[in-house]
Amino acid sequence: MDLNRHDFQLKELIDRIQTNDNRLIALQVPEGLKMQALEMMDEIEEETAAKVILAADPCYGACDLVHDKMKMMGVELVAHMGHSQMNIESGMPTQFIDVTYDGDPEIDAVLPLLAQHRAIAESRLGQLEEDLSEEEAKERFLDAVGRVAPLKGTKLGLVGSIQHLHLIFDFKKRFEAAGYEVEVPVGGARLTFPGQVLGCNYSGDDDEIGHYLFLGSGDFHPIGLALHTGKPLAMLDPYTGDADEMGAERIERILRQRFGMIMSIQDSQTFAILIGEKPGQMRRTLALRLKRLLTKHGKKGYLLALEHIGPELINFYPVDAFVNTACPRIAIDDAVRYSKPLVTPFELEVALGEKKWETGYQFDEIP
Ligand code: SF4
């Protein structure tokens, strides 16, 4: 990652600290930017009368706002960098600081993939005949994760990770000029910007969108987007200019692994239900519902609340399996690190016979 090409927009923060005459603030930065944190602390301390405490625990999203512990230290304002505001209340005044990247890749590399993906969407759209039997409809409308999901359009859904969203409407024009009908989806309250996606939320999806382009790097967001929507997905990386796609084999491999997890808990009797303590990951009601569901099926569920979740913190509990209600990506991306099966709420419900795998995989979204 070329950090010199990132813009850390500290000016608004410095203005706010000066206006409020804050004396102690906390700075929270994502993992990829921690190396720059000391430089930013220097800049804030030079420009204002405030002292800065770095909230140095791991931080992977705005779900993870520092809260009461900082209040106890006397912190007056939290400066949270690189993520946008969510529909959560941390109990602390918080200033969100944008980080943007100026990489502006050519679109040519991704056009052949988009043409293939639009053809897939068109083939699904062309099958909206009314006289199909239920079985025929099911077969034709199945998406990449096995759901029956008829489409109403073949638009290109244009999404990105937050540091590239300032370019999204420029890219919309470029793809329109290349012959695509483009939608920049607007999601629910957990998302701030048009085109934004999170690893746990793809709520802007709609049935007018037939395929996607993700502007960003890595496969964290693309895996979630493909699991959530079941639609073809191309990726364009602003850091390298490379184009790629989230292939069906990759999604199939993940689904096979998830199905294996479900099979492996069929006979489990005792479960630890993990509750995330981070403000934007806490799903207490869901955890309690799962505990009741386990009781209904004659099984035992223990509720475990944790700020951070890792194998070293839970592997030793004498239970048969874990159910995760914290960050949904812990089960999807990290399950192999745990000594016992680690499943999502949907997967537990399938194992208990409350939901059906045959009607398609349901991504664990936090709304
Ligand atoms: S994917 Fe996980 S870490 Fe990222 S915002 Fe969602 S809950 Fe937080």
- Inter-CA distances, 68 with 276, 297, 352, Å: 15, 38, 38
Q: Where are the domains of the chain?
A: 3-101, 108-246, 256-359
Ligand 1 pocket, residue 26 CB under 6 Å: no
User: What's the gap in Å between 59 CA and the centre of ligand 1?
Assistant: 10
3-101 belongs to which homologous superfamily? Diphthamide synthesis DPH1/DPH2 domain 1 (3.40.50.11840)
Q: What is the pLDDT of residues 32-90, one digit of tens each?
A: 889 889 999 999 999 999 999 999 999 999 999 987 788 899 999 999 999 998 888 88
Q: What is the pLDDT of residues 175-185, one digit of tens each?
A: 999 999 999 99
Probe ligand 1: pick from 28, 60, 80, max atoms within 8 Å of CB?
A: 60
3-state secondary structure of 330: helix
Choosing among 3.40.50.720, 3.60.21.10, 3.40.50.11860, 3.30.210.10, the CATH entry for 256-359 is 3.40.50.11860
Tokens matching residue 44: 């804030």
Closest residue (by CA) to atom 6 of ligand 1? 200
Ligand 1 pocket, residue 199 CB under 6 Å: yes
Check if 3-101 and 256-359 are the same fold.
yes
CATH fold for domain 108-246 = Rossmann fold (3.40.50)
- Inter-CA distances, 100 with 3, 103, 130, Å: 10, 9, 47
Tokens matching residue 122: 């068109």
Tell me the average pLDDT of the chain: 93
Alpha-carbon distance of 284 to 72, in angstroms, equals 24
Kindly report the pTM of this predicted structure: 0.92
